[in-house]
Structure 1
Amino acid sequence: QRPLPCRTLRYVPAELEDKVVPDAEVLRTLLAVFRALFANALPRQRDVLAALPEPVRSKYQDLLSAQPRGAPVLGFTPQDVLYQTLGFSVARAASSLAAAGGVFVAAGRAPRGAVVGMYPGTVYQKYEPIFFQSIGNPFIFRCLDGVLIDGNDKGISKVVYRSCNGRDRLGPLRMSDSTWLTSEMQNPLAVGQYVNNCSNDRPANVCYQELDVPTGFPVELKQYLPNTTYSCAQQGPLRCVVLVALRDVGQGEELFSNYYTVVS
Structure 2
Amino acid sequence: MFRTALERLGLKWKSYRHRFLPWVVLNFSKNEKTLRQVPARSEDKLVPDHEVSQTLVRLFRELERADDGARAHAHRRSASGDGQRCRRGHDATFRILGFCVERKPSTLPSAGTGVFVSRGSVRRGATVAMYPGTVYRAHEPILLQSLRNPFVFRCLDGVLLDGKDGGLSKMVYESCGGRDRAGPRATSDGSWLTAAPENPLSVGQYVNNCSDQRPANVCYQELDLPDGFPPELRRHLPNVNYGACWPGPLRCVVLVALRDIGEGEELFANYYTIVHGPDK
Query: TM-score w.r.t. structure 2 length?
Result: 0.82
| CA root-mean-square deviation | 2.1
Per the alignment, residue 194 of structure 2 pairs with 182
2:152 is the alignment partner of 1:126: no
User: 2:73 and 2:133 mapped to 1: Cα distance?
Assistant: 36
Identical-pair percentage: 56
Letter matched to residue 275 of structure 2 = V
User: 1:160 and 1:114 mapped to 2: Cα distance?
Assistant: 31
Q: Per-residue displacement from partner, 1:61-114 (whole Å, max 9, x unpaired)? A: xxxxxx478499999521111111110000000110113210000000000000
* Segment of structure 1 superposing worse, 229-238 or 72-81: 72-81
Contact 2:16–2:150 (CA under 8 A) maintained in structure 1: no
Indicate how the Cα distance of structure 1 residues 69 and 91 shifts in structure 2: closer, same or farther if over 3 A, else same. Answer: closer
2:54 is the alignment partner of 1:28: yes
Q: Structure 1: which 5+ runs fail to align?
A: 46-66
Other structure's SS at 2:248 match: coil
Letter matched to residue 125 of structure 1 = R
User: Larger helix proportion, structure 1 or 2?
Assistant: 2
Find the partner of 1:18 among 39, 44, 50.
Answer: 44
Q: Per-residue displacement from partner, 1:25-50 (whole Å, max 9, x unpaired)? A: 101111111000011001578xxxxx
Contact 1:173–1:219 (CA under 8 A) maintained in structure 2: no
The aligned length equals 243
Query: TM-score w.r.t. structure 1 length?
Result: 0.86
User: 2:180 and 2:216 mapped to 1: Cα distance?
Assistant: 36
Contact 1:5–1:197 (CA under 8 A) maintained in structure 2: no
Q: Per-residue displacement from partner, 1:149-175 (whole Å, max 9, x unpaired)? A: 000001110000000000000122111
1:139-218 to structure 2, matched below 5 A, reads 139-218=151-230
Q: Structure 2: which 5+ runs fail to align?
A: 1-10, 19-30
User: 1:247 and 1:5 mapped to 2: Cα distance?
Assistant: 27
Per the alignment, residue 148 of structure 2 pairs with 136
2:224 is the alignment partner of 1:224: no
Contact 1:165–1:228 (CA under 8 A) maintained in structure 2: yes
Indicate how the Cα distance of structure 1 residues 256 and 69 shifts in structure 2: closer, same or farther if over 3 A, else same. Answer: closer
